[in-house]
Amino acid sequence: MARRSFALRLTAAFVGVGIAAAAVAALLVNAEFGRRFADYLDSRQVSQEQQVTAALAAAYGRAGGWSTADLSPVGTLIGMEGGTLEIRDLTGSTVWVADQTTTGMDASMRRAMMGAGPLGPEHTLPVAAQGRVVGYAVMRLPIGGLLPHDISFRDAVNRLLFFGAIAAAVVALVLGLLLARRAVAPARDLTVAARAFARGDRATRISSARDDEFGEMADAFDAMADTVDEEDRIRRTFASDVAHELRTPLAILRTSVESIQDGVLTPDGASLASLHEEVLRMSRLVEDLETIALADAARFSLRREPVALGEEVLKVMEGFRDRFAEGGIEVLSDIEDVNLEGDPVRLRQIVSNLLSNARKFTPAGGRVNVSVTSRDDTAILEVTDSGPGVPPGEIDRIFDRFYRGQTVKAGGSGIGLAVVRDLARAHGGEVFVENSRTSGTRFRVVLPSAPRSGRPFMNPSHPGSKVKGDEGGDGDDEESMGNRIPSLGGDVGGRDGDRSRG
């Protein structure tokens, strides 16, 4: 279906608005002019009637009564207007009539010569002389507004309004074309850039200097293009890294198998152990790719149920006992009884990735603090290590998929923390990272919590140590922070959390 130009529609809208505005203005002006003109005609007729009654009063005063000789000038005056006049005394009897005999001309002929309209309604006005009413003047004057010069004046005003409306439409058309072309220019630039981007030109940018909504839209497109370009670069780098990582174990497996087939290598325990190690290495890479696929699945298809977050955290910590003990790392816990609605498997994966990350970057003799607290309607999980911290230039990208930093020394694919972020958001929460004030890094996962049950729970591996929040305890911080787990190890879920470090 052919699309109509938005510029033409915008121009038509400008023209329509201009014509409508001119038409409304013309109607209002014409209506107001008609009202004012009618008022003017009424006032003029009243003035004429007052002039006639004044002349009649003066004539009566001069003659001391109604004198035909003194009334003739008044008859001439009313005859020039094309009207009729009759004078009646106080009893209602006709005293004098201004007709052709008294005025010298026929009223209807006079109206025809003047182009005046028909006579208006009859008006009876009192005539006062010497402070008293001496009679009544019965007058009929031609209807106002129908004289040729009145009609000509009104037509001139209407023509002026009509041509003004045409001029307004022309001005609106010109301005509409100019403004429409200027208004849609950014949209056209965005369309061209989007089509070029869709064809694979990832370097396309708009770089608009506008400070309005179109400029904001252009900036959003540029930001999107930068993000897509960076993700493509990261994917290419990750694909290259995966190929490099797979190439070595596959080469070793191929060489070892061929050596066994040729009889050069004996299939004893040592050779099989080497092959098994390479198989595990490839399995970890496959698991990383599987984790990425899960992260892209519909918000991990969470199976929500009531979960005691503190208990799940302690389960994962127990699984890490040996790994922390091997590195000589001290682990301190401060666990409250916090309930929430979530997927326990995915919540354990969050904890596992954070602990694995802390183990990887905490040096021997270091310390890892794990805490679970509640604040308002949120559950807060914090994992703090005493490692070297995150370089300031990389802290904003630490949760990007496949990002391992420029100075990272540890292995891994760089997806562990990205999975933490995606899982936290899938639960309606968020994850934050900051370098601690002393040393190391603090990860804070904030999740919406369920109402507290008020039921304390015990560290399953240390039943004699109460955790913070125990109703039977005194809430001593020193005791809860001293709930040490001297040797933790194991990786729950088989994932490792990677982050860049200096």
pLDDT tens column, 381-433: 999 998 888 887 778 878 877 666 665 555 556 778 888 888 898 888 999 99
Q: Of the ranges 287-291, 326-330, 342-346, which one carries the lowest mean pLDDT score?
A: 287-291
Region class of 490: left (phi > 0), else alpha (psi between -120 and 50), else beta: left
pLDDT tens digits for range 169-207: 788 788 878 877 777 777 788 888 888 888 888 888 887
Q: What is the C-alpha to C-alpha distance for residues 144 and 150, in angstroms, rounded to an integer?
A: 9
Using 50, 70 and 90 to split pLDDT, how confident is the model at 461? very low
Report the C-alpha gap between 219 and 209 in whole angstroms: 9
pLDDT tens profile 269-278: 887 888 888 7
Mean pLDDT of 443-461: 62
- Domain limits of the chain? 1-197, 213-296, 303-494
CB-CB contact of 407 with 391 (8 Å): yes
The sheet carrying 123-129 orders its strands as 94-98, 84-88, 132-140, 123-129
Tokens standing for residue 306: 């009531």
Q: Where residue 492 falls among pLDDT bands split at 50, 70, 90?
A: very low
Token duo for residue 450: 């369920």
Residue 484 is predicted with a pLDDT of: 37
- The pLDDT confidence band at residue 165, using thresholds 50, 70 and 90, is confident
According to the model, what pLDDT value does residue 459 have? 39
Band (294; pLDDT cuts 50, 70, 90): low
Q: Which helix (H) or strand (E) holds 213?
A: helix 213-262
Query: Which of 138, 119, 113, 142 shows the shortest CA–CA distance to 127?
Result: 138
First to last CA, the chain: 57
Selection from 421, 380, 363, 426 nearest residue 397 by Cα: 421
CA distance 143 to 145: 7
Q: Which helix (H) or strand (E) holds 113?
A: helix 107-114
Sign for the pseudo-dihedral over CA of 214, 219, 220, 224: positive
H/E run at residue 69: helix 68-80
For 473, left (φ over 0), alpha (ψ -120 to 50), or beta?
Answer: beta
Nearest to 332 by CA among 287, 291, 383, 279: 383
Cα 93–97–103 angle (5° rounding)? 165
DSSP code string of 304-367: -EEEEHHHHHHHHHHHSHHHHHHTT-EEEEEE---EEEE-HHHHHHHHHHHHHHHHHHSPTT-E
- Which of 357, 356, 385, 382 shows the shortest CA–CA distance to 371? 382
The whole-angstrom separation of Cα 217 and Cα 202 is 18
Is the pLDDT score of 113 beyond 80? no
168 has pLDDT over 90: no
- Hey, what CATH class is 213-296 in? mainly alpha
Question: How big, in percent rounded to 5, are the helix, strand and coil portions of the chain?
Answer: 55, 15, 30
Phi-psi sector, 152: left (phi>0), alpha (psi -120 to 50), beta: alpha
Q: What is the pTM of this model?
A: 0.44
Which of these, 497, 275, 484, lies nearest to 404 by C-alpha position? 497
Band the pLDDT of 167: cuts 50, 70, 90. confident
The answer to whether 353 and 417 have CB atoms below 8 angstroms apart is yes
CATH 3.30.70.1450 for the 303-494 domain, yes or no: no
Determine the Cα–Cα distance for residues 289 and 405; give it in Å rounded to an integer. Answer: 19
pLDDT band at 240 (very low <50, low <70, confident <90, very high): confident
- Residue 208's pLDDT is 75
What is the pLDDT, as a whole number, of residue 27? 82
How far apart are the C-alpha atoms of 404 and 406, rounded to whole Å? 7
Helix axes 6-63, 148-198, angle to 10 degrees: 160
367-375 and 330-335: which strand pairing? parallel
What integer pLDDT is reported at residue 361 of this predicted model?
86
Range name among 57-66, 152-161, 248-257 with the lowest pLDDT average: 152-161
* Distance between CA atoms of residues 374 and 22, nearest Å: 66
